[in-house]
Each structure stands twice: as structure tokens, then as C-alpha cells.
Amino acid sequence: MSSMAALSSIFIHGGCFSRFQDESKSLKMRKMATRFSVVSSAQKSNKSIKVGILGASGYTGAELIRFLANHPYFDISLMTADRKAGQSIGSVFPHLITQNLPDLVAVKDADFSSVDAVFCCLPHGTTQEIIKGLPSSLKIVDLSADFRLRDINDYAEWYGQPHKATELQKEAVYGLTEIYRNKIQNARLVANPGCYPTTVLLPLVPLMKANLITYENIVIVSNSGVSGAGRSAKEANLYTEISEGIFSYGITRHRHVPEIEQELSNAANSSVTISFTPTLMPMSRGMQSTINIQLAPGVSVQDLKQQLTRFYENEEFVVVFPDNQSPHTKYVQGSNSCHINVFPDRIPGRAIIISVIDNLVKGASGQALQNLNLMMGIPENTGLSCMPLFP
């Protein structure tokens, strides 16, 4: 019996954890914070799921390793990094030197014969052909943008090249966990959302579905830490270029715009167009979106807050503040949490929503692990119930 099949038997048939057998049980399970101590390789289950990380030398790869170290059922058996092939993870990320992990290999030399699932942390535009060549038995969570846009023509327009895995695109499920949980559970390929879209969609999708806001005049300004640009050396990301200042980029043409509009249009059953401006902040990690919206006729700001509170009341990782406190990126740093609050605008009929996440966790690796947990029938908070880092 394969490791994946054996573990599936334990979860689904053995009675330890059901595969979300009923909604009330799953909601209770998600709301209850489950704490795990660091799991050593000796303590890992001998029925563990073997996981590969493609692109392990980047920030999202490092974050996955950090969370998987606390995961009792996932065991990293393969890591790739073409430019770092042959090196240990401790030489690439010294903070991970205590982890007993396989050396990095080039993707072309990777052996997937004993791997059950893969996190793909490769750059946009390189992922499609690699995933297309992977064994069809693998469960895959792709952290790039290559499978997020359902319309391949949109992909070609915004990413400047034709999609090279159109058949795979048809089966990809968009991985905004709290919104598409049921589809993710049964998916083979999940397209992990972008960090900016995660901060925007978590508050807006429930409001769109409830017809509490209009589809016009949605204005979004999002601020991101520099880690969102990745680990590759870039002149624009040098300390002297970034520190003691902020600047906006990708104005009117940022690649996350079609992703946000796609999901808002799906929630509204109508075409939605947004104004979106991303801004780079002189900090390592963290993301805040300030969303200005128009209320539907007869709707109050309190109605928005009540809808979000009801929608997320059983969600462990999404918190709607009950008072007038403004969310702060410091309060979610290092965690898989999203904090949201709604405020009345001084302009009648409008509201301001503030949403914050850690761009490397809920905006990338944490949500990816949350999704793979679901895909494997494991309680989705497994390995993720860690407190934020503060200060």
C-alpha cells in the first residue's frame, strides 16, 4: 500500500479523523485551535505522506519547510532548486540548519516515484510545462499564477505568453480556501491565490454574494512587504532603494487585477471592474489592503460587518474585529491569519474595509498547506495553528 493510500485509510476509514463527514463537525474542528509541538523526523508517522517542494530555495519554499516541520503527517522527501542543486537547505537558509532534509536537486533530476504531493513554488511562466510533465497520481498545489486565471486568453494578455497547459487549466481549482473548500477537497491541482487577491477577496466575496455592495467604484490600495517580490537579486529591491520610502508600481496594469476581477465577477454573477494600486513598503513581510466600496441602497456599514462576522464565525484563520480597532500587519506576522474590519466613510453611502495578512503565509505558503491538508482529507489547520510573532 502506498504511503498516501495508507494514510487515507487511517483518516477516512480508521475513525481518527473523518474526511469532513458532516458540516457541523468540520466547522467545530476548524474553529478549535489545534496545537502541535515541533515534530522530529523520528516522531513522524510511518504512514506519512511524502511531499516535494519545487523551488525550495525561495521565500515561499522556506516558509513551507517551517510549517511542515510541525506537521505530523507530511514528510518532505524531495526539494528542487536548479541554481542551488547539490546544496543542503541549511547552506541556503541557515535558520533551517537543524532540519534533517534531503539535499536540493535540479527539477530535471527529480525522482517523483515516491512522492505523493507537490508544492510548486516556481516563477510564473515556468510552472505549466513542469506540472504538465508530473505523474498524474500527484496532488499539486501551485503557488505561481500559472493556473489562477480560468480564461487562457486573459493569461496570455496579462502574462505576455500563451498558456502551455490548457487541458490542465480546465481541471485547476482556485484555492481561496474559505470560499472554495468543497471544490478543493476533491481537486488534484489547486491554483493557490496571489497575496493581494487574498486580502481583497476574503472581505469582498461574502459581501458580493449577499448583494450588500455595488459592483462599481471599488477602489483598492494595497501595501506589501518586499518579500512579495521574491528572493532573486533585483536592483529595485536593494536596501538603499527600498528603505525610508514607499512607492507604487504596476499602476493600472498589475497582474493580480484580472485574478481579483475574475473572482469578484464570479461572486456577483456579473462583470466587476476594480481600481487597484499596489504599493511597496519598506518592511520584510506583511500586507494591508484598504478597500473603498459603495453600499447597496438601504444597506448600512453595520450590515456589512454582520455579514462578514456570520460568514467567518466558524473560521479559525479569518477574524472580523468586533470594535473599531484597525487591523495591523504586526498582529498577523508569521501566522496564517487574516484580520478584517469595516469602517464608515465620511462620504455618505460608502465604507472602508481594512484587511491584513502575512503575504508569505496566508498570502502564499500557509494557504497552500491549508489547501493540501484539505486535498488529503486532513483537518485543514494541521501544522498551521501557530501564534503570530510579536513584536
**DSSP character at residue 163:** -
**Tens of pLDDT along 252-266?**
889 999 999 999 999
The parts of the chain modelled with pLDDT lower than 70 are 1-46, 229-233
Supply the pLDDT for residue 45.
52
- pTM listed for this prediction: 0.88
| Predicted local confidence at residue 71, as pLDDT | 96
Res 231: pLDDT = 66
* CA distances for 20 relative to 24, 191, 337, 354, 380, angstroms: 9, 22, 22, 32, 10
Interhelix angle 366-375/59-68, nearest 10 degrees: 50
Please name the amino acid found at residue 387: M
Q: Can you give the pLDDT at residue 96?
A: 95
Using only C-alpha atoms, the chain has a radius of gyration, in whole angstroms, of 20
Instruction: State the catalytic residues.
Output: 195
Using DSSP, state whether 204 is helix, strand or coil.
helix
pLDDT of residue 230: 66
Model pLDDT, residue 243 = 80
From the list 313, 364, 357, 363, the residue with the least C-alpha distance to 338 is 357
